[in-house]
Structure 1
Amino acid sequence: MTEIASAPKKNLRDAFWWLIATMICVHACMATTRVTASLWVLNQGYGEASVGMLLSLFAVAPIVLSLWAGRLADRHGFHRPVGIGVTLAFVGALLPLAVQQLWAIAIGCLLCGGAVAVAAVALQREAGLMAEEPGELKKIFSWMALGPAMSNALSPIIAGLLIDHVGMTAAFGFATALPVLAWVLARKVPRNPPAVYTKSFREPAAWDLFRLPAYRRLLLVNLALSAGWDAHSFVVPVVGHARGLSASSIGLVLGSFAAAATVVRLAIVRFADDIDEAKALRTAMVVAMLTFIAYAWLPGTFGLMCGSALLGMALGSVQPMILAMMHRETPPERHGQALGLRMLTLNGATVGMPVGFGMLAAATALTAPMWVMAAALLAAQWPARKL
């Protein structure tokens, strides 16, 4: 709270809600583009491997931009990195709206993924500075995690309805309007410039954070759980399309996952003081592992919605815990670096997963990626038990 102590209390409370609203809009742009691009590729007959390739592009740009985004946030605060992220999102959504060809949609996916990486680091860092004591971090990051959860809940449903009743162009147009709204909201956050660095200041390398054992373990657990999100995002459109579900039904299945993630994060806000973070992480991993194993046999749209909701509850509870623990385990002046390195590690390790999921699904069974993720979560219990 030291960096924002001079701001009026009312401004701080107002700024927090603007942060959440900005996060929702930026992430919704990416989520809408992801769903619309996946269905466009399937409708054009490109196949499951092409869907995996497109989804992997969302993780490519964060590999290049995440560490830079962390340093940018530590040095310049909130508005500059968010402005860059919003610009990337706008261009990334506008390109497939203007040119509905595979190359344009691929570049749009690349830019939208980079936009979320740059903006999210600044948003999470700014939110962490608003905690007056360590116990508030779970509540703050639970509220912040509601941004992606709400956008994931609403965006697929809206995109599906627009595709079914208007067309692909309308869905891409909706994605294009969201970054503009995000910048309008971000400008309402009061400016909070960080400490000024002298020319003699040497910023420590972000890789030094790997020397912290707790930080390493958190990244390993986060990696396994984050890959579960990727597996679910890949499997649902592919399985839904194979079963002949409409775009609206596929959107409902994806939306049920995100709605459950939203509910569980609201519960964390309410019961944050009573939650043991390490035990909650381990429990979530077990629930997700069992659901991944059973997902292939779930019947119809309703069955897929129930399975997705259970996965949403398990995986949705993870991010607030990990971010709260990460903020406590890293120096305050390096929170941006820690968040950027986390994003780099997650995206670097998972960039090839959608492609691998596509190849695996094409060669074996459509739900095989979920069985692979069940095995990964079982292996991740080992570092989780040391947290």
Structure 2
Amino acid sequence: MKWTLRTPLPRTVVMLAVSAFFVAVGFGVMSPVLPIFASSFGVSNFLIGLVVSAFAGMRLAISPFCRRISDRIGHRRTIGIGMWIVGASSALCGISGGYAELLLWRAVGGLGSAMFTISATALLLASVGPELRGRASGLYQGGFLLGGMTGPAIGGLLAGISLSAPFFFYAGTLVIAGTIAFTQLHDPPGMAEAAAVAPTRSLRQVVADSRFRAACLMSFGQGWQSFGVRSALVPILVVGALHAEPSWAGIAFAIAAVAQTAALPAAGRATDTIGRRPVMVTGGVLAAVATIATPFAPNLQVLIVLLCIYGVGSAALGTAPTAALGDAAKDAGSQPIAIYSMVGDIGAILGPLAAGILADHWGMWAAFGSGTAILVAGTVAAAMIPARLDRRNSEPETVE
């Protein structure tokens, strides 16, 4: 079939985006309440932070085994079971009678999250050809972003009822998402037979592929900056440096999320028509420039503009690297996808810790500068992708 910009995306991709929306809505409702709920057990700030980190830590620990799980039972079942595990763990968090229980069930949630995140990415890439990977990645990311914007508003209402209510709401949205996975998603034809055959492309060949290395660097940079430095320090800038009300931090993030969501369709189309490399480079430059300028914003209006520029850059970095990953990991199984996910998790874990140390000892410019340096490194790596490999139907890069 001849591909055009009007070619519809497969139903599986659309349903993945719908399930992503429900996951993100629930997470957006629950995550702001989690530290407050943990503090209700009278523990230290370190132990409160440990509850937040336990989820990402378990994701990182279980990621290497997700390929074997999905190869054995299929992507559809792995996604559905993973979502239901997170849902059950969230409900158990809500009825925890002590800190140790809360920590345990939050960690269990990370196990389920790794299962559905890696399998969903693998299914997304397996459901479309290289000519549609940008649009598919953009739609999938859009589901998460729309859910992420909706969740906090609902969470504020639920928190007023009870601190445990958001956990039960999150459990409900995960049950819905898991049900969608079981009833609406479909593994690609011949997947079971393909899983029984050894990959024809080795991990060594994938790691040597310039597209894979650039995608992983961008994933690490996004984890470090978006989920680490930006989330941890922008609220401090809003209150401490710009002397605005704390609520403006949430408003600024929401406006930036709207800009990012609006840019996703164009980023997806550009990834499929122009190529992965120019979109990754453009996104990296925008994100890096906005990042280094953020701590010097003279007022709230400029800060919001910079966050919106970063959001547009993130839209590009949420589509092109995933498409490049799919190109490089063709015929190599799910292991490269697990590595890609793990690299992003490592950035999200290390980013807040490093940002805090750098900000305490050298100032905000050093913390944001660390994120800028990683984004620049990813941009340089993307710029070095050979032109012959940046075509929609290019073959994997081989190692002699």
TM over 0.5: yes
Whole-Å separation in 2 of the counterparts to 1:182 and 1:358: 35
Alpha-carbon distance, 1:138 to partner: 1.0
What residue number does 1:212 align with? 209
What secondary structure sits across from 1:168 in the alignment?
Answer: coil
Q: Which residue of 2 aligns with 1:158?
A: 154
| Matched-pair contact (CA < 8 Å) for 1:287–1:314 | yes
Could you tell me how far apart the structure 1 residues matched to 2:45 and 2:244 are? 15
Q: Deviations over 1:220-262 (max 9, x none)?
A: 233223321122222245555655735x544333323332221
1:180 — aligned with what? 175
Tell me the distance in 2 between the aligned counterparts of 1:102 and 1:358. Answer: 25
Corresponding residue SS for 1:187: helix
Q: Which residue of 2 aligns with 1:140?
A: 136
**Bigger mean CA deviation after superposition, 58-67 or 48-57:** 48-57
Q: Does 1:29 align with 2:26?
A: yes
Is 2:241 the partner of 1:245? no
Measure, in 2, the Cα distance between the counterparts of 1:46 and 1:371.
Answer: 33
Higher relative contact order (Cα pairs below 8 Å, separated by 6+ residues):
1
Residues 43 and 264 of structure 1, relative CA distance in 2, 3 Å threshold: farther
Q: What do residues 123-161 of structure 1 show as CA deviations (whole Å, max 9, x unaligned)?
A: 222222332x42111111111111222222222333245
Aligned to 1:261: 260
1:282-301 superposed matches below 5 A = 282-298=281-297
Q: Which residue matches 1:88?
A: 85
Deviations 1:151-173 (A, max 9, x none): 2222233324543x445333333
Residues 47 and 309 of structure 1: CA distance in aligned 2, closer, same or farther (over 3 Å): farther
Work out the CA distance in 2 between the residues paired with 1:83 and 1:316.
27
Q: 2-side partners of 1:67 and 1:50: how far apart? A: 27
> 1:202 deviation in Å?
5.2
Task: Give the conservation status (yes or no) of the 8 Å contact 1:33–1:109.
Answer: no
SS across alignment from 2:306: helix
2:372 to 371, 374, 380: 374
Distance 1:103 1:386 in 2: 48
**2:231 equivalent in structure 1:** 233
Cα distance in structure 2, aligned partners of 1:326 and 1:198? 19
- Post-superposition Cα deviations, 1:101-134, rounded to whole Å, max 9, x if no partner, equal 5545544543444333211222222222332x42
Counterparts in 2 of 1:201 and 1:136: CA distance versus 1, 3 Å: closer
Contact 1:30 1:89 in 2 (8 A): no
Aligned to 2:397: none
Q: Tell me the amino acid that sits aligned with residue 82 of structure 1.
A: I
1:198/1:114 CA distance change after superposition, 3 Å: closer
Contact kept, 8 Å, 2:16 with 2:120, in 1: the verdict is yes
Q: In structure 2, how many angstroms separate the alpha carbons of the residues matched to 1:147 and 1:207?
A: 33
Q: 1:19: how far off?
A: 1.6
1:344 offset after TM fit, Å?
Answer: 2.0
Structure 2 residue aligned with 1:57, among 54, 58, 65?
54
Change (3 A) 1:201 1:286: closer
RMSD after superposition:
3.6
Return the alpha-carbon distance in structure 1 between the equivalents of residues 327 and 95 of structure 2.
45
TM-score by length of 1: 0.81
Letter in 2 for 1:147: G
Letter of the structure 2 residue corresponding to residue 351 of structure 1: I
Q: Where in structure 1 are there 5+ consecutive unaligned residues? A: 2-8
How many Å apart are 1:272 and its aligned residue?
4.9
Partner residue, 1:6: none
Larger displacement relative to structure 2 (75-84 or 104-113):
104-113
Q: CA offsets, 1:297-316, max 9 Å, x none?
A: 44676554433322221112
User: How does 1:290-329 map onto structure 2 within 5 Å?
Assistant: 290-298=289-297, 304-329=303-328
The more displaced of 86-95 and 98-107 is 98-107
User: CA 1:188–1:337 in structure 2 vs 1: closer, same or farther (change >3 Å)?
Assistant: same
Matched-pair identity in %: 18
**1:320 CA drift (Å):** 1.3
Q: How far apart, CA to CA, are the structure 1 residues paired with 2:50 and 2:301?
A: 28
Cα distance in structure 2, aligned partners of 1:98 and 1:346: 31
User: Distance in 2 between the 1:138 and 1:77 partners?
Assistant: 24
Answer whether contact 1:57 1:351 (CA < 8 A) is retained: no
Task: Identify the range of structure 1 (279-288 vs 199-208) with the bigger mean alpha-carbon deviation.
Answer: 199-208
* AA matched with 2:179: V
Give the TM-score of the pair, scaled to structure 2: 0.79
Give the counterpart letter for 2:118 in structure 1: V
Give distance in 2, aligned partners of 1:32 and 1:64.
25
Does 1:331 find its partner at 2:327? no
